Amino acid sequence: MELVARLYHVTSNRNRESISEHGLDWSRMSVAPGIAGSSRPEKEGSFLCALRSEAPGSVDSFISVNNTGGPVDVWAVDGIDEQMLVVTGEGYSYFPGRIPPDALTLLEQNLSRNDLGPPFNP
């Protein structure tokens, strides 16, 4: 089994407390809209990305399309089997399961489109 070294998840900062306590769990989506502004989960899982760049499906692209109504956080996700990721028809990757809090590290807080810049060094 090959593990991805580190992936990333971008979400509203209003989800921080829930993520810290429960991890990434799409069934708990209620506090804030999804990054694209959806009021319900688009998939039964969490969207993840591997890059901090302007490429589609990257951390910066999720920050730039932020429609959550406020700032976002970037979480590092460790220990995910890369073969478990599902790619949508639009080219976005998601993990079809819950991700426990001990697999997550809060890297950046309260970002907006104005904070896009050079890659972070986790």
pLDDT at 87: 94
Ranges of the chain with pLDDT below 50: 121-122
Locate the domains of the chain by residue range.
Answer: 7-111
pLDDT at 21: 96
Domain 7-111 listed as CATH 3.20.170.30: yes
pLDDT single digits (tens) 96-122: 999 999 999 999 999 988 877 555 544
Residue-wise DSSP of the chain: -PBPS-EEEEEEGGGHHHHHHH-B-GGGTTSS--TTS-SS-SSSSEEEBS--SSSTTSHHHHHHT--SSS-EEEEEE-S-BGGG-EE-TTS-EEESS-B-GGGEEEEEEEE-GGG--SPP--
pLDDT at 121: 47
pLDDT at 38: 87
Global pTM reads 0.87
pLDDT at 2: 57
